[in-house]
Each structure stands twice: as C-alpha cells, then as structure tokens.
Structure 1
C-alpha cells in the first residue's frame, strides 16, 4: 500500500476537509509514493516515538497533535527540527489527524468516553452543514442524460447514497431573439414546451464545477437554473455526551479508576445529581456555553484556566479538568479504527509524551 492509498483510507475515517482552517493536518513529513510498512498511532510525535517506530519496523506515524505547528522557520537539531530530521533519517512518514479526528462521531472525545465505559454517545455540539441545491429546467427527453452528467460532476450525493434526484413536470415558454441559436423553437416566435424541473444537492465547495458541468451538458443555449444555499445539522461535531447516574464525586472516582490518571481540578458548582455528562477532549472551555446549552450537568475537558473556572462556578456549571493529556487514549482508539481498513500491522504507542509526567 502506498502512502497516498493510506491517506485515502484515513480520509474516509476522518475527512481532512473537516479540519479547522487554522490546523495543520495530513502528511507532514514523507512521500506519497512510499510503501507503507506498518503504522504507529500516538498523541504526539517525540524522539522516543520515532525510536519506537524504528524498533517496531513501522515507517508511518499517525499523530493527533501536528508536529509542524505553527510555522517552523528552520529545521535544525534543536526542538521540533530535531524530530523532523530524525524522521527523515529513518525514512518515516508522519501524518497528523487533529481537528478532523476531533469532529467525528467516533473521534477523540468518544474514545475517552469508551475508556470510561460508555460506548453509546451522541455528538455534543453538532456542526451546521451548509450545502447547495440545484434546481434546473430541462426538456423531458433530456432529463436522464442531464442527471447522468450532473451525477458525474458530484451532484446528488447524500450520505451513503448517490444519484439522488427529484423531478416534476412543468410547462415552459420562451421567445428566441434574433441573435439566439435555439435548441427548440424559431427566432422571434413564442415557444411552449413540456419541461421537467430536476433538483439535487451538492457540496457548496463544488459550485463552480457543477455550474460548468451543467452548462456543458444542458441542451439549451441559455439554461434556466437556480442555486440555493441550505443548511441542516450534521452528524459530526465537537465533543460527545452520554447518560450517567450519580454524583460529581462518583464520576471523578470513575475517571481515576478507569484511566489511571489524576484529576487536575474540579469545579463543583452545585450539589445536584449528574444525569448527562459532556466530554470535549483537549481544551474545551471556549465551547462551554454551547456545551451546557445541550443539557449536560458536567463538562469533562482540559486546560481550564482560573478565571474560566471562577466564571463557571458563578454560573453553576460543573467542570472536571482532566488535563489535555487525557487525549492519549486516542492512540488505542485510532489503532482500532485504522486496522479495520488495512492489512498492515498497526500499533498504539507505549511511549508517554505527557510533559507533566
């Protein structure tokens, strides 16, 4: 399997287009034409991680946190540059799956919930999905060919289905002017024609290529069409939530028992029972309003600052700060996701990259 083929599989697991604009995901170090000989999954790529990959005979490391982020101005033996040079010396490809993995239904937050014993989760903060809808008039005899041409251009894909079109008959009229070269009708004469309206959705990013394909395929010199912008909740988003029965103290005990990690801090803002738990792996406090608007009684996240905690307590919001490193469980979770799609050896790292450890 070439690296480019592996990238296609990873894109199916967590599409790279789902990454935040500020993020740096994809193949960071390596060659798309290399043969993949084995995979190591990890939270961070460190010197010890590269050594581990060499020992295991793997030449692909998939890390959650991008090694090259933000801009690297030089690659020397110090800092990040030293790791990059080590990767190159050992001919190891480094791939980052960061916010694209965060935003999947079975992404990092779900992987943490699984460690706690909760396999059934829902997306906490659902993304709104913006898409386009094409509506076009076409003569009855040209409907099938137009649908085929539009489908080839990416129109009509909905989830796991393709060629999803709707059509209904209408009466159309037009008068070709003196400069027109009509497919139907005569210059200067009013023409009535039996037409169909064909409708289908497509990815908003593909609008220009869809319009180009439509104009190329349509029999009319001047096709009549509309492009509408629509939005709906996505099946993807940030964080997860799940049902829980107990107190915040019992939840803290469960986290310690299941993860083996200590708790950084707890904001115990009210004494009520916990019925709904939210998790945002990594740093989630900037999403606290959206998280609690989804009915959670406590948010498990990391990197909670003093004033954020203070404001949360004033607002009656329970927070459990488990630290950013709790995301480390994504290494095992991603291993299981990847090995279900490849015939390569896939290993989860045994190296700790916890800077506080």
Structure 2
C-alpha cells in the first residue's frame, strides 16, 4: 500500500475543500507514492514527533495541526518548523495535516468534546454557508429514474436527516441537431420535441466533480443541459463548534470540576459565575472567541473554548459563563478520533498514537 491510499480515505472522511480558507491542509511533506510502513497520529508535528516516527518505523505522520502554516522561504534549521520539516525530508517521512477540515466535520473535534462531556442532542453551533449547491438538469422521461438514482448514489439529494431528495417538473424540450451532431434522440437537421422532466437536487460543494461525472455518464444526451448554483442555505451537518445538553443539570462549580477532570486542565480561566444551573453547553475546540456571540444567541449556559483574551471575558455580559480550558486540552482527543477512523480502514498497518507531549504550555 502507498501513502496516497491513506490520504484518499482521509479525504473521503474529511474533504479538504471543507477546511477554512486561511488553513493549510493536506499532504505538506513527502511523496504520496511511497510505500507505507506505518502511521503515527499526533496533534502537532514537532521535531521530537518526527524522531518518534523514525523510531517506530512510521513513514506517515497524520497531524491535526499543520507544521507549515504560512509560506517557507528557506529551509535552514532556524526554527522549530524548519527543523521538523528538514528531519522529515531527510528520513523520507510524509506529513499530512487535517486541521479545520476536521473542525468542520459533524463527527470531528467538537463532537469528541461533546461526547467526552456527555452532551446529548448535539448540533452544529455555526453551520457553514456557501457549501450547498443545486443541480438543475433536463432528462427524457424514459431515462429519468435511472439518471436520478445514479445521482443519488453519487451523493446528491441529501438534506439533514433525509436522503434521496429531489424535485421533478414534467414538460417538453426541443432541439435541432446540426450536421456534426450525433443525437441519441431525433435526427440531424430536424427539429425534435422530447417529453422531458426537469430534475433538481442539492449536493455539498466538495462533491461537484463527482456529481457532474455521474450526470454526464448516466444522461442519454450527447450534450447535457444543466446548471449549478450555490445556495445561501446553511449546511446543518458542517461547520464550527457544537451545542448540546447535559443529561442532568449541574451546579456551576460541579460543572467546572467536570471540565477540569475531563480535559485534565492545569487550570480553567472563566468569566463570572451566574449562580444558576448548567444544562445547555456550547463548545469550540481551539481558539474560539469569534463564536461567543453565537453561543449567547443559542442560549448556552456555558461556552467552552480556548485562547480567550482579557477583554473577551467581558463579552459574557452575565448571559453565560465563558470557560477557557486550554488550546491543547480542548483538542487532545482528536488523536483518538483519527485513530478510530484509520483503524477501520487499515487494520493491518501499524497505527500508533504519538507519545510525545506537544503542549507548549506548562502550569506551576
């Protein structure tokens, strides 16, 4: 097996097109055609992690955070980023980063946080916009069911908890094939009228090439009439953060203890306690100050995230409690998630959770 096969399955699970625009995801270092020896799963790819991969005969590191985030103008071992990259290249080790593609996944980073905290009835806190597209095409009535079923199989027509969703309008199409045409219906030089149906389906933007390939393959016409538009609808199964409910409400102090034990945090910085029970909880792993207003509007009692600045805590405004559990701490279970997914696909290969502790923050 080559490394590219692992990457293929990772990108089927978390398509790179779902990552945030600012991010740097995918294969960052290495040859995808190299034969796989083993996979090391880590939160960060530091020089020590590359050394661990060498010692454990793993030539692919699957990392949550990208070690190369902004452009590198040279490789001269001047900082921890360059040292890690140089060591990986010298030892033929590939580095793959998944980051916000997994953040935006409904079973990703934030779902892991919810599961660890025991939250129920979870949903995306900030559903992603601009990632749902609609296909409109016109199909001869006799071929309609086959074309629609093929498009369903390719992933079109899924809306939330529903699949195989479509809309059909019957009518009459017309076309005049010229002398160079090779029509499947009608004849060259003659106006042809055909009983057709307009077919409308939605699909996630990352499937566009697959949907079009399926359309062209299944449609009987030589020239397929179609249009694709991007919708403003929010994708309820894709986006940042989550919100859910505790099975049983807790007192604030009890919940803070639950947080500290769950995340093994050295300390938890939080805003003013409100002396009320905690039931609805919003979470966003990593730096999440941008989602404070969303958590408030969603009616959360607590918002759990990381990297809050001094003035961010004022934004609680006695509407909820903000809790900063630490960046590393909030994302630490990502390794378990990646191991779970990869172990389903590659049970015959070494899948190792990195032992190297990569949290740069210490507590006294």
Per the normalisation by structure 1, the TM-score is 0.83
Q: Which residue of 2 aligns with 1:239?
A: 241
Residues 29, 112 of structure 1: alpha-carbon distance in 2 compared, 3 angstrom cutoff: same
Larger Rg: 1
CA apart distance, 1:100:
0.6
**CA positional deviation for 1:281:** 0.6
- Give the C-alpha shift of residue 214 in structure 1: 5.8
Deviation at 1:302, TM superposition (A): 0.5
SS at match of 2:125: strand
Aligned mates of 2:39, 2:355 — CA distance in 1 = 13
Assess if the C-alpha contact under 8 Å between 2:132 and 2:235 holds in 1: no
Asked if residue 102 in structure 1 is aligned to residue 103 in structure 2, the reply is yes
Query: Shift of residue 210 of structure 1?
Result: 3.9
Number of aligned residue pairs: 352
Distance in 1 (alpha carbons) for counterparts of 2:41 and 2:3: 15
Question: Which residue number corresponds to residue 250 of structure 1?
Answer: 254
2:23 is the alignment partner of 1:18: no
Show the counterpart of 2:297.
Answer: 293
Q: 1:209 to 1:341 in 2, by over 3 A?
A: closer
Q: Give the equivalent residue in structure 2 for 1:317.
A: 320
CA distance in 2, matches of 1:186, 1:73: 59
- For the residues of structure 1 that align with 2:310 and 2:343, how far apart are their CA atoms? 41
> 1:289 Cα shift?
1.2
Structure 1 residues 27 and 277: CA distance shift in structure 2, 3 A: same
Cα drift, residue 67 of structure 1? 0.4
Give the CA deviation at 1:143: 4.2
The DSSP-based 3-state class of the residue aligned with 1:77 is coil
Q: Counterpart of 2:357?
A: 352
Task: Name 2:266's counterpart in structure 1.
Answer: 262
Q: Which range moved further: 110-119 or 52-61?
A: 110-119
2-structure distance, mates of 1:57, 1:77:
23
| Aligned twin of 2:52 | 52
Q: Distance in 1 between matches of 2:190 and 2:86?
A: 73
Distance 1:120 1:42, change over 3 A: farther
Deviations 1:17-75 (A, max 9, x none): 21111100111011110112111111111111112112222111111111001111111
RMSD of aligned C-alpha atoms? 3.8
What are the residue-to-residue correspondences of 1:195-210 with 2, within 5 Å?
195-204=196-205, 206=208, 210=212
Identify unmatched segments of 5+ residues in structure 1: none
Q: 1: distance between equivalents of 2:70 and 2:53?
A: 24
Q: Where does residue 32 of structure 1 map in the other structure? A: 32
Q: Which residue of 2 aligns with 1:111?
A: 112
Deviates more, 1:226-235 or 1:210-219: 210-219
Q: In the aligned structure 2, how far is the partner of 1:212 from the partner of 1:13?
A: 20
1:64 matched residue in structure 2 = 64
> Which residue does the alignment assign to 1:84?
85
C-alpha distance in 2 between matches for 1:167 and 1:122: 31
Q: Contact conserved, 1:131 with 1:201, CA < 8 A, in 2?
A: yes
Q: CA deviation at 1:109?
A: 2.1
Where 2:257 maps in the other structure, the secondary structure is: helix
